Amino acid sequence: PGTVELKTTLRVEPTQRLTVLPGTRLLLGEHVSILSRGVMALVGTPERPITLERLEAKKAWGALVIHGPAASGSRIPFAKISGGSVPDASTVSYTGMGSVHWADDVFIAHTQIDSNTLGDDTLHLVHSQATLESLDFAHCYGDCIDFDYVTATARHLSIEQAGNDGVDFMTSRVMLQDIRIKGTADKGLSCGEMSEIEVDRATIEAAGTGIAVKDNSRVMLRDSLLARDAVAIDIFKKNVIYGGPG
């Protein structure tokens, strides 16, 4: 624990494990990333969260990446993550300040994630299985959360001020419970490419479109409120290969 300055990218190999102890403050230099192909455990506590932030106020760091089967089982409870972007140079295209690729049993909870620059997403999950719980997103550059080919459960999410979508789904199966989305430039929930989404107790307000359902996707919506959205629900066909609208 304490303050740690990272001025070069930290790479964790599949045979290694990265553990960050409660109360650690990580200051990342410009374009610096943490790229883990092994298990990542950022084990904060309510009293002593882990923070990832900029070393220099005007210079964005890169990304926090969990990638590959050997990284399955990674955990991020009680953290504050802000001010990142995307990796400066990588053989893989990572589009989120937080990126999870090809890993299962990933758990992220009780964490604030905000104020990224560049990149399509603030948190991007691809070909993975995850549980998200009690996450607060704010001031997202593009989409706050993007699920691509993912199976996930997400509970108690707060999303405010997305530059694009609140949550975007592509060919994913996700259960959402107790979700609040406010202020998205495009869609609150964008459900596409044969996704299957269950939504319980959501509030979506001040969005361009509250919920978009497209390309043979299915959405089950229960006990939810859509308010002050330019369009509440839009059902349409975007890509002909999926055979029809939602």
C-alpha to C-alpha distance for 146 and 86, rounded to whole angstroms: 14
pLDDT digits (tens, 9 = 90+) for 23-42: 999 999 999 999 999 999 99
Q: Are the beta carbons of 31 and 88 closer than 8 angstroms?
A: yes
Q: What average pLDDT does this structure show over 196-211?
A: 98
Query: How much is the pLDDT for 33?
Result: 97
Give the pTM: 0.96
The structure tokens listed for 117 are 């620059």
pLDDT digits (tens, 9 = 90+) for 130-186: 999 999 999 999 999 999 999 999 999 999 999 999 999 999 999 999 999 999 999
Query: How much is the pLDDT for 81?
Result: 98
C-alpha to C-alpha distance for 102 and 67, rounded to whole angstroms: 6
Q: Are the beta carbons of 203 and 180 closer than 8 angstroms?
A: yes
pLDDT digits (tens, 9 = 90+) for 107-137: 999 999 999 998 999 999 999 999 999 999 9
